[in-house]
A and B are shown apart, each in its own frame.
Chain A
């Protein structure tokens, strides 16, 4: 399975994501922001970082990058797409996911490991998890405070589109939302970084549960 990882000029978790993909036994594919094709990727990860410096608003410029056009087509055609941290921010800016990520309620960058609950396994990125499973995953962001209007919040709740929920909310997110998916359930955005806990030497492999889901799905 080929998993593409986008590289915007200010991405800084791209190498970690590529490395984690390789460790899972999938084939990592670098997707440069100025490229206009996905090089035959079977799934796409938009990693964390500061895509274009994020001086205006995280992801606001990245959504106009050349590589985003084929990603939009891929996502709309049902291709498994995962945005992590800045990648989640980019996907909301591109309207591939509902809501927005505001500045943390504490007005500070926050880097810590938090406990989250898997709220749905009906996505290609959580299918290998148990429903209700609790994971400890690292977050590291300044704008992770999930916001959506009440109607949207109600809708994603009713459609069981909350993917991960914080058990200890680090940033003020509405309804403790740490991750959501689109209507088609193939596009998922999460603030925690599974790639940072995907190796026993780093003290935890709980992130592998997320990353491996997409492989398991492909084999079915």
Chain B
């Protein structure tokens, strides 16, 4: 291979090769070129997204650590902090779904561990193509098995997440895993290497050939050849990870480590060069000291291997013996593989010879590409929408049941029951609610977690969709009674080298940034996954937001299910702005993804959400649920069968709504989306109290009463709870389903 072919095989452009020549002042050897190729991949180097990411607000009163470390950290109170991050494992999951998803979970757990925190919760945002295709069913089934297989064994509960199906994700699933860890603020560790002469210790599993050039693979489009890159996908061992977690926590507890870093994409290369660059020092790695799983590995293979379940630590020489002793207690391999040096280079040595040497800050400083933002032509057509083209259904009972049975709205029970969501005995609100709620043992404190993504919305309106994604997460946390404090995000997009992809990326970020500012939820960490494309095109632009919130008294929380006969049902929000454009109703019942969904009104949404949270905190409300996909009727139905109690919608209020919001159509108020409303239920004897608080609401309507075993909406809908539940509680891994959708 000549140099051009080598660069191309490694995913480096001519421009990037010239830049390397300029930086080094000499031609790199193959090992050095490999180091650049992995560190300058989009996955590690953020070369297309970095300028745009600067739009996000990163600071806030509770943010202890923003982007730039292994995870973001926010302060909880009473000396506690949460470390959290979401990360993608899309490409590996597309070719080897079980291991791809499993190692995605393993990787994000190590990011949290690298902050010194004990991982205590996992969430997953997933996207697949429609389930009527065999390949999509296979990917879905195996990804869910992989997440469970790893998370269940490692002993971190999977407490939440979300999933959607759309044809744009066929053969390019999205697998985003979020992990949250708990730590005392004084115990936070950083990843910067310091102290010339300190030792670099590799802990965990042995190093093999798995995942060579995985980061480069993850930064390319998926083609038919991708299947042949299965060997780029790593294999996970949750048992080793479990011991690695316990081992590192003990090492940190005994004060034995100077700094700690996980090994993820690009293996030792990435970890060592980041640790060196952050500390402004050099690191020398002896490849012949790395415990290997197989023989005959080249030095470059050793340093870019993505073998799982490994961590890199910087240790003072006199503490190394104890570090290796503790590793041995957990049955882990521990080895001194290098040392901190003052030359600022990542130097790879094999025996006495230097196999390659590159300034660490050059590796950490990938070139940045800024592109012109041009509005793509598809948007005009996609946004054109006239409700008159879509007739009202004749049978609203049947329409509601069809909606509830659709894979994009039905129960996620068949997924979350495959995940251990209670190990750790801290899960207060189990999956199925608007957000998961966890307690912090020995305190009254709690925290709430959600992940949200709105790919369809972002496709139709990238900026509005970006903002709505953050707003939805804010609403979800508020509905369980938590105060939202910060987000992490995973930006899943197509190729930034195509104008359409770059526009979507840039506009979604803009919308998210506006919402983060308005809702005061800064971005504490994040991850970018570009090139999510197949021969059939790009995925929906799908930024996933993972938001964390706090509860001062964890016992004061709310869940969606109705709790008492006779409770009054109240919808709180601004009301207008509701539309069928881009709604799930349009997708499920009319088979169309079209229209520009209403712009989120962030001021009004925040007011509504803050009001509901205060009602929950004061003990006035214990039943709350936000109106989201599927609209108000779906939200009410979910509250009904979650609580095993029916409800009756009052006729007068209904007529007013149909005439007002609906312009004469019932489907608009029933299934329209975009208002940012929240439904609550209270006993009649607390109605006066509630009304007093509602004076501050942007708007509200008392719409009906809880009771009986039927779901009655005036004389338009009348279904038994049993029928609703039967439609909703379907097994997503059973017979294929899902309506055809066209753009």
Q: Give the B-binding residues of A (Cβ under 8 A).
A: 9-10, 12-13, 15-16, 19-20, 48-50, 52-55, 108-112, 138, 140, 142, 193, 195-196, 198-203
Does any Cβ of A come within 8 Å of B13's Cβ?
no
Chain A residues with Cβ under 8 A from B331's Cβ? Answer: 9
B417-441 to A contact mask, C-beta < 8 Å, 1/0 = 1111111111110000000000101
> Are B417 and A202 within 8 A (Cβ)?
no
A–B Cβ pairs within 8 angstroms, 18 of them:
A9-B243, A10-B243, A12-B242, A12-B423, A19-B441, A48-B423, A53-B153, A109-B418, A110-B418, A111-B152, A111-B418, A111-B422, A140-B422, A140-B423, A195-B425, A196-B423, A196-B425, A201-B554
Given the interface pairs A12-B242, A199-B425, the reply to whether A140 lies near B554 with Cβ below 8 Å is no
Give the complex CA separation of A201 and B426 in angstroms. Answer: 9
> Are A20 and B420 within 8 A (Cβ)?
no
Chain B residues with Cβ under 8 A from A55's Cβ? Answer: 239
Does any Cβ of A come within 8 Å of B56's Cβ?
no
A199 to chain B, nearest CB (A): 7
Chain A residues with Cβ under 8 A from B238's Cβ? Answer: 50, 53
> Are B425 and A9 within 8 A (Cβ)?
no
Inter-chain CB contacts under 8 Å: number:
84
> Are B418 and A108 within 8 A (Cβ)?
yes
> Are B420 and A111 within 8 A (Cβ)?
yes
In the complex, which residues 214-250 of chain B have their Cβ closer than 8 Å to any Cβ of chain A? Answer: 237-239, 242-243
Give the complex CA separation of A13 and B439 in angstroms. Answer: 17
Residue of B nearest to A9 (CB): B243
Q: What is the predominant secondary structure among interface residues of chain B facing chain A?
A: loop
> Are A140 and B425 within 8 A (Cβ)?
no
Q: How large is the interface on B (under 10, 10 to 19, 20 to 34, 35 or more residues)?
A: 20 to 34
Chain A residues with Cβ under 8 A from B425's Cβ? Answer: 16, 19-20, 195-196, 198-199, 202
Residue of A nearest to B413 (CB): A112
Chain B residues with Cβ under 8 A from A20's Cβ? Answer: 425
B558 to chain A, nearest CB (A): 13
- Additional 4 contacts, C-beta under 8 A, given A55-B239, A202-B425: A52-B239, A109-B417, A111-B419, A196-B425
Give the complex CA separation of A110 and B414 in angstroms. Answer: 9
Does any Cβ of A come within 8 Å of B383's Cβ?
no
Residue of A nearest to B559 (CB): A203
In the complex, which residues 235-277 of chain B have their Cβ closer than 8 Å to any Cβ of chain A? Answer: 237-239, 242-243
Given the interface pairs A50-B238, A196-B425, A201-B554, the reply to whether A140 lies near B420 with Cβ below 8 Å is yes
> Are B423 and A13 within 8 A (Cβ)?
yes
Chain B residues with Cβ under 8 A from A13's Cβ? Answer: 155, 423
Residue of A nearest to B426 (CB): A202
Does any Cβ of A come within 8 Å of B385's Cβ?
no
Chain B residues with Cβ under 8 A from A16's Cβ? Answer: 423-425
Does any Cβ of A come within 8 Å of B330's Cβ?
yes
Given the interface pairs A12-B242, A109-B152, the reply to whether A138 lies near B237 with Cβ below 8 Å is no
> Are B419 and A109 within 8 A (Cβ)?
yes
Chain B residues with Cβ under 8 A from A195's Cβ? Answer: 425
Residue of B nearest to A52 (CB): B239
B550 to chain A, nearest CB (A): 16
Chain A residues with Cβ under 8 A from B153's Cβ? Answer: 10, 12, 50, 53-54
Does any Cβ of A come within 8 Å of B555's Cβ?
yes
B121 to chain A, nearest CB (A): 14
Q: Which 9 A-B pairs have the closest CB atoms?
A: A12-B155, A53-B239, A16-B425, A140-B420, A50-B153, A109-B418, A196-B422, A196-B425, A10-B239
> Are A111 and B330 within 8 A (Cβ)?
no
Given the interface pairs A9-B243, A111-B417, A203-B428, the reply to whether A53 lies near B237 with Cβ below 8 Å is yes
Give the complex CA separation of A108 and B144 in angstroms. Answer: 10
Q: Which of A10, A19, A109 is the one whose CB lies under 8 Å from B420?
A: A109
Give the complex CA separation of A76 and B427 in angstroms. Answer: 37
Does any Cβ of A come within 8 Å of B707's Cβ?
no
In the complex, which residues 452-473 of chain B have their Cβ closer than 8 Å to any Cβ of chain A? Answer: none
> Are A110 and B417 within 8 A (Cβ)?
yes
Chain A residues with Cβ under 8 A from B239's Cβ? Answer: 9-10, 50, 52-55
Give the complex CA separation of A203 and B420 in angstroms. Answer: 17
A62 to chain B, nearest CB (A): 12
In the complex, which residues 497-529 of chain B have their Cβ closer than 8 Å to any Cβ of chain A? Answer: none
Chain A residues with Cβ under 8 A from B243's Cβ? Answer: 9-10
Does any Cβ of A come within 8 Å of B148's Cβ?
yes
